[in-house]
Chains A and B, each alone.
Chain A
């Protein structure tokens, strides 16, 4: 699995940075430690404003889902959020079946995700 946490975007209308973590490949129990580390690092760099781009992920199991839930909680504890985007059809179905689509904020693309984060930020 490929993990890219280099990209930093600026939230629209603010100077605050958002970390964009791109994941690609099969996201299962073997990948969890690496992804967990990447999500924590990303959240630490941006006070919890994280976008996870799942565009390259073609499979996610329950350990992968739990890892994303953990990342979401980590960001929300910091008064921010972790937004998911670019869910491919097989992954979207898993989110719908497990009703995790109700727990996460899910955006269509990275731009929409950063806009959602900015809107959430202005509400706080």
Chain B
């Protein structure tokens, strides 16, 4: 887009000069950054050298008696290099890094090898997020991410100050985000929601638990492999189960992995959601604060909010709960932490509570996500059934083929699998169909779909910035099509799957008056095809 807001770079080294010692508005990042790097690299060094010392040398300490001293010395020198090198680099980085909050722009000069000058126009800044891991917290520091929320250009439209002191971080946040804006509607300010520790019961119900369990089992094998004792672990487990049947063994191991997964998911939940609170600040900013060890503060300007999404993963939905996500433009993605989930406003909570929070966030009396939805035609159900059955029958068919060719045992497995998978597939397909729906509710376009992850999105109609209508050959024969509203916020596009052809288009036409209108034509009767 315009060059405004794009970070500017210049590659002349040295030219960055010393942009003035503090004063002149220029500030440095905190000097304790050196300590942070030192501590991190120190622990890495210990983590690398101790196993070498203890494990690999097999107790005989680095080589035969005569050369023992040399080996030890080498190791220590390596460790020192490992720590001091990055600390020195960090020192140069600290010396070269300056930032300034000017009247119009926020500027950041960095440059380890290349002087890099970047600046963001202040009126374009949409998010100022603070995060502090335990180490930073002990030192009273935070990492600050200042973002414009532009989708283009990858992380380039984000300035990261890593680290500054906590008061400085809060000051930056307040200075950059809170503008004197008239609050529309005079809706509730202050704390909108806080976490209820009882909600931890929904944590193991998500798909995280089995995944973590599998990860735990994998980690055991991986670590034992590092120390070359993987074989012993397997033999040991084998010994343990010597007197039990294979089925028992598999069941026990699966149960153990699942248990580890449940414990892991509980731990993860506590780490992520401890002390969670969702607030509305004067000036129209939503703020989420949460975290046990790593404390985060995520701000979303309400001007950037285009709606909310109620997300119900299968297990959580069966327990009658839902999560509330913000659909907003310019929510950054923390590249270092994939679990950050910066758009989650409320973790899985009882559905009525989630609906209430969604309504408060949108400043509506009732949340549009609870509006009665238009169901989709029967063809959509038939499509889902057909797809589910095909998926469920693929493996049994393959096994049957192989079974006829090789051994009848496979035929039994195929029959067993089909007996379980077919009813499950039918149930899931019917559930997927039941989930489908769309409607217009006030200023919002509401669309629901999904069975493993049912999502109900309420998107501001003014936030729709285009339409994509798709129709495959099969959909054409069934008389349905998929209408997708594109938006700058959230996932970028939200779809109404398999709506009745004509009704879906009328829905899109009514959602954004004038946009689709000129490209539609009405036929008095229903001609087949096209």
Q: Do A and B bind each other?
A: no
Residue numbers of B with Cβ under 8 A of A are none
Residue numbers of A with Cβ under 8 A of B are none
